[in-house]
Amino acid sequence: MTHQGPGDVAARLTGRPVTAVRPLSGTLAEVTLEGGRVVMVKLGEEPRAVQAETAGLRWLAEASAVRVPAVHGHEGRRLVIDRVPQGRPTAAAAVRFGRDLAALHAAGAPAFGAPPPGGPRDAYIGLAPMRNTDGGDWPSWYAEHRVLPYLRRAVDDGTVRPVEAAVIEEACARLPELAGPPEPPARLHGDLWNGNVLWGDDGEARLIDPAAHGGHRETDLAMLHLFGCPHLDRVLDGYQQAAPLADGWTDRIGLHQLFPLLVHAVLFGRGYAEQALAQARTALAR
């Protein structure tokens, strides 16, 4: 019988004996290997979610842009990656992170909605299912596969009233005129809130827990705005130095936030639905 404890999985996937296991939560454990290397063992919701996360981390790493922790592999519902020794974010590190994030986006994707190589089409963003379906143009793809599925579920759950849903549906219908100039598919982290940006003790940022896919680069930046990020102005300075954003991008932040806000409305309730409705109304008033 195969043992499935975090230490057992870490030993199998790294090929090294384990000297200590320290549970951090019900889903995360810190495991020390012989020789002193420390890895994190994460327990996912289901094997498909772990497969998606593993493929996403490797796809982001292939861009040689923003760093990600080394991935040792996955087994069942467990993923093993290197621990990131924590440091403090600095203004200089934030500028570097912005430049590196621009390079990550510029690495591109085959299509809007394309999953990472080896990743499942039926993936996750946090605890919510997320379907990766290819699309030819960003406005129609974003509406059909990133906004409306969560809006429909929020209506079914009673979190958004049907009369309110019409406001977000109208914003989706007007996306071709509101979305700004066309851009090629970017390689997105896909769930870029502050908790998924780790600042290492070496002064470099690292990304964890991606919902990676091909999308619009402004979506990652909009999520950083939504949930906050240390030295965000400096991050944006670095990004703009490396890859200037199209004129009017700040006016489009709310449109790109519809996706994460509705995901959060589905997972956490009415408060996020009200924020999504406010952003839709603001976009329609421009």
Terminal alpha carbon distance of the chain: 62
Q: Compute the distance between CA of residue 128 and CA of residue 186 in angstroms, rounded to an integer.
A: 22
pLDDT reported for residue 45: 84
pLDDT reported for residue 18: 96
Q: Compute the distance between CA of residue 25 and CA of residue 49 in angstroms, rounded to an integer.
A: 18
On the CB side of 23, how many CA atoms lie within 13 Å of its CA?
A: 6
pLDDT reported for residue 3: 59
Counting every residue, how long is the chain? 286
pLDDT reported for residue 228: 86
How far, CA to CA in Å, does 171 sit from each of 200, 225, 242, 261? 39, 20, 31, 14
Side chain identity, residue 72: H
- The neighbour count for residue 188, using CB atoms within 10 Å, is 24
pLDDT reported for residue 203: 87
Task: Look up the CATH number of domain 85-286.
Answer: 3.90.1200.10
207-264 tens-digit pLDDT: 999 999 999 999 999 999 998 899 999 999 999 999 999 999 999 999 999 999 999 9
pLDDT reported for residue 1: 42
Cβ-based neighbours of 265, under 8 Å, separated by 6 or more = 150, 154, 159, 160, 272, 273, 276
- The neighbour count for residue 138, using CB atoms within 10 Å, is 25
pLDDT reported for residue 227: 85
> What is the sign of the dihedral through the CA atoms of 279, 218, 180 and 144?
negative
Q: pLDDT of the chain along its 286 residues, tens only? A: 455 799 999 999 999 999 999 999 989 999 999 999 999 999 988 899 999 999 999 999 999 999 999 999 999 999 999 999 999 999 999 999 999 999 999 999 999 999 999 999 999 999 999 999 999 899 999 999 999 999 999 999 999 999 999 999 999 999 999 999 999 999 999 999 999 999 999 989 999 999 999 999 999 999 999 988 999 999 999 999 999 999 999 999 999 999 999 999 999 999 999 999 999 999 999 8
Instruction: Enter the tokens of residue 79.
Output: 């993923």
Q: Compute the distance between CA of residue 27 and CA of residue 9 in angstroms, rounded to an integer.
A: 14
Domain ranges for the chain: 85-286
- Please name the residue ranges forming H helices in the chain: 6-14, 47-62, 91-106, 138-142, 148-156, 162-173, 175-178, 217-227, 232-242, 253-268, 270-285
